[in-house]
Structure 1
């Protein structure tokens, strides 16, 4: 990393909180939409926050929650995943957006990693998707300057969608505002869109306590909310789409997958 890039990384805050609104909109075969509020951490993987002992139950970052789950750190898991695709960052910094483990539990529908090389240039983005069945899958992405990219859907997420179509993603690096979008596109149209909107807050003890008070046990609430809306859709008659027989529902985030087109 060049001295200027290294100085810029050191000068940037190592962690921030984003109080967010997450919106899901389904347009076919039934119309259904919901919004929920939560908060996300944005951290430098090489400078994870060290909280006072009394606050540590409110935010833990564990390697077991990402990639293959058996690395010594989240950064090591990411580096192993990238190496399996022939990518080396040579010590470049990585920004992760994700939920932390709260009161012993975490659920991350989407974790995003902005991966920079030694010069400070964005080399790639990794989108790590978790479903409510305890499985995870990674997409290796190369967005354009606006943070936009497309990739084939490869992972069974919602029980109401088959594993077909393509995702159109907009994943710009977070700044003062967080504005992410993921849209599923299939042969019949654009049946699903998810957006995340938020504003940056300093990751202070006071800010964390405020977020935890407003959204207690936030990660469990996210998991429960997804399940609750799935039950509503099922009660409305939306058929469950079984996984294709003889195919794996997921690949561990450490094995090689086909590169995005």
Structure 2
């Protein structure tokens, strides 16, 4: 196996997350949060006093909870016929804060040994404790299309197609997911942010700006659901979701 390419330094993106539901009811909201961007082979080692503010566990993502992030991503890709030969894998995700985590979306950018982006894995979690991975071969702008295959909201079934834009972040982060159905777009989500080095000062600043970020995100999602339910938007029964091989 080739030696992995040089690691990317960890970073924090102070983000703004927007959701717009257009049909059958209009509902829009925006909230602040922050995400970590890390090399899966070189996870941040925080000073002892800051460790409660950012923890990373293999079990929070796809695959064997007793394995490694790299090993689990590679096993998933192997089943799709994709080999990286030790190339770099970077991840955008929320870290654990005081032991709590919720990742509606985690993104893995998977490179080959020469450093070329080979594919992107978009890992989606719902509030029912389920996860699903979408394998994407993006274009030069980070765009890809994929059929929706996972129940995320009790007010949306699994019909339609996602149009995703997931360019690997640089100084700025700009991610978008658009649900398309028969010529219309009932749902749009965007994640925009600015990069900050993962210094102790920036870690503390992010944690103070958005205290208990994972719990806040989960609470805000549920609160929006309550408001839609109060407006009598019909609830769609959650279908069984068979676990994907190598995802769990």
The residue aligned with 2:138 is: 143
Tell me, in whole angstroms, the C-alpha distance in 1 between the residues paired with 2:152 and 2:158: 8
Higher mean C-alpha displacement, 186-195 vs 127-136: 186-195
SS in 1 for 2:157: coil
Partner of 1:182: 177
| Equivalent residue, structure 1, for 2:58 | 63
Aligned to 1:227: 222
Aligned equivalents of 1:157, 1:223: Cα separation in 2: 13
- Whole-Å Cα distance in 2 between the matches of residues 37 and 253 of structure 1? 34
Name stretches of at least 5 consecutive residues in structure 1 with no aligned partner. 257-261
User: In the alignment, does 2:43 pair up with 1:51?
Assistant: no
What's the TM-score once normalised by structure 1's chain length?
0.91
Confirm whether residue 254 of structure 1 aligns to residue 246 of structure 2.
yes
Residue 120 of structure 1: how far off its partner (Å): 0.4
Q: Say which SS state the counterpart of residue 162 (structure 1) adopts.
A: coil
Deviations 1:133-178 (A, max 9, x none): 0100000000100100100000000110111100000000100010
Match of 2:18 in 1: 23
Q: Contact between 1:67 and 1:254, CA under 8 Å: does it hold in 2?
A: yes
Q: How many residues align?
A: 248
- 2:27 aligns with one of 26, 32, 52: 32
Q: CA deviation at 1:253?
A: 6.3
> Relative to structure 2, which stretch is displaced further, 24-33 or 47-56?
47-56
> Alignment RMSD, CA only?
1.8
- Runs (5+) with no aligned partner, structure 2: none
Q: SS where residue 144 of structure 2 aligns?
A: strand
In structure 2, the residue corresponding to 1:227 is in which secondary structure?
A: helix
